[in-house]
């Protein structure tokens, strides 16, 4: 995880085993301090008696964000647990909670009714729970501020499933199928959006909850739906994100509040002999990307034809010296990649490749297989 974080420039989140002793946590912290890029920091969910911040990160206290994580089913129990920490709360910088919504236990206590509901009616149950989610966010935001801590969410999202499937191993196929269908339906898009907006309004916008406060960890990016829940934004790697309401809602929220640029880069370059290739914005904040070649260290550029993806981010992936081909990706606001290549000897037009996904689910397999191929348009 440290290597991956260093490669992509992302702040990692590490969970410490609940039975880890002080030596384990200290050695782990030393590894992070020694090998994680200096411009990155880590959120780490740790136990209450493990104070390694000053010992290991004494010269770089902002590189580590010790987090006290707790399930949020019982608010007063959480309050008591935090108060029992006493002055040990100084070991932490943030409280992390869960933020799931089950639409008023729709697939549990309302399962019999749910089977006869339309997706619009099911959405109404979800909307009726939104005020409860807002009250919960406000309660924990106030609790965090009372103890001088930030508030994060270590996992959250839709949890419309039979809780008994996990707790007692008891489930009903018709309820499972109905829940999965709703998790795939357009009606869940607005519910996910409302949950994220509630978190943004109450937690992210709180002036006392500046970074690292406000982080919302959606659980999860990809996961096959089953009786145990439809946790993934996507159901399998390679699924077209633009067809998945939960994914569209989440990415739309991100781009609406943070940036039109899903990968937050302004340029990418590579050098081959005396030539340099690059894709870049002419100025930060601009919407139009250019790809070009230079033979004088970037003093002058010869521009390639427009890729035709105005507003998308362009990333230079590589150059094939045998075929004299430059490869780039365009990434839209949903984070969907399209692939392009151009023969630099002619440089007349880009060839565009779209990701085609074929999915089949054999009856004898409980999971989805997928085959990814590329086709030239």
pLDDT, tens only, 123-133 = 998 998 899 99
pLDDT 10s digits, 234-257: 999 878 888 999 999 998 898 888
Confidence of residue 320 (pLDDT cuts 50, 70, 90): confident
pLDDT of 375 over the 50 cut: no
pLDDT more than 70, % of the chain: 86
Answer yes or no: pTM beyond 0.85: no
Instruction: Specify the pLDDT at position 260.
Output: 52
Max mean pLDDT range (52-66, 249-263, 268-282): 268-282
Which residue did the predictor score with more confidence, 74 or 227? 227
Structural tokens at position 72: 């949020």
Please state the domain extents for the chain: 1-238+367-374, 269-353
pLDDT 10s digits, 201-217: 999 999 999 988 999 99
Which residue did the predictor score with more confidence, 339 or 356? 339
User: Where do we find the tokens 């990155």?
Assistant: 40
Confidence of residue 164 (pLDDT cuts 50, 70, 90): very high
Instruction: Specify the pLDDT at position 370.
Output: 24
Instruction: Specify the pLDDT at position 306.
Output: 86
DSSP state string for 71-136: --S-HHHHHHHHHHHGGGGGG-SEEEEEEEE-TTTTTTTTHHHHTT--HHHHHHHHHHHHHHHHHH
Q: What is the CA radius of gyration of the chain?
A: 24
3-state secondary structure of 323: coil
Taking alpha carbons only, the member of 80, 355, 146 closest to residue 234 is: 355
User: Where do we find the tokens 């392009």?
Assistant: 340
């Amino acid at each position: 995880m440290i290597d991956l974080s260093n490669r992509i420039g992302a702040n990692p989140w590490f969970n410490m085993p609940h039975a880890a002793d002080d030596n384990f946590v200290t050695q782990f912290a030393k590894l992070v301090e020694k090998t994680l890029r200096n411009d990155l920091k880590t959120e780490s969910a740790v136990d209450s008696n493990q104070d390694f911040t000053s010992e290991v990160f004494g010269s770089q206290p902002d590189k580590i964000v010790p987090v006290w994580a707790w399930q949020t089913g019982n608010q007063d129990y959480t309050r008591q647990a935090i108060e029992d920490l006493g002055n040990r709360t100084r070991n932490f910088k943030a409280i992390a909670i869960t933020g799931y919504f089950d639409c008023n236990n729709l697939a549990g206590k309302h399962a019999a009714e749910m089977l006869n509901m339309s997706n619009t009616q099911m959405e109404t149950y979800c909307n009726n729970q939104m005020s409860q989610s807002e009250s919960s966010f406000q309660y924990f935001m106030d609790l965090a501020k009372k103890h001088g801590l930030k508030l994060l969410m270590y996992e959250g999202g839709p949890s419309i499933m039979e809780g008994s499937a996990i707790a007692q191993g008891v489930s009903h196929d018709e309820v499972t199928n109905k829940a999965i269908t709703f998790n795939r339906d357009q009606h869940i898009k607005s519910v996910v959006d409302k949950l994220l907006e509630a978190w943004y309004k109450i937690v992210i916008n709180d002036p006392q909850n500046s970074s690292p406060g406000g982080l919302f960890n959606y659980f999860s990016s990809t996961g096959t739906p089953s009786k145990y829940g439809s946790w993934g934004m996507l159901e399998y790697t390679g699924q077209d994100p633009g067809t998945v309401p939960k994914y569209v809602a989440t990415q739309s929220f991100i781009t609406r509040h943070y940036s039109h640029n899903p990968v937050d880069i302004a340029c990418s370059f590579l050098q081959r002999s005396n030539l340099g290739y690059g894709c870049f914005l002419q100025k930060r904040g601009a919407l139009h990307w250019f790809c070009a070649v230079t033979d004088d260290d970037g003093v002058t550029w010869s521009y390639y034809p427009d890729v035709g993806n105005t507003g998308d981010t362009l990333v230079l992936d590589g150059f094939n010296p045998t075929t004299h081909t430059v490869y780039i990706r365009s990434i839209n606001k949903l984070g969907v990649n399209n692939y392009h290549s151009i023969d630099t000897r002619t440089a007349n037009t880009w060839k565009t490749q779209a990701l085609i996904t074929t999915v089949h689910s054999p009856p004898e397999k409980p999971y989805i297989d997928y085959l990814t191929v590329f086709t030239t348009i």
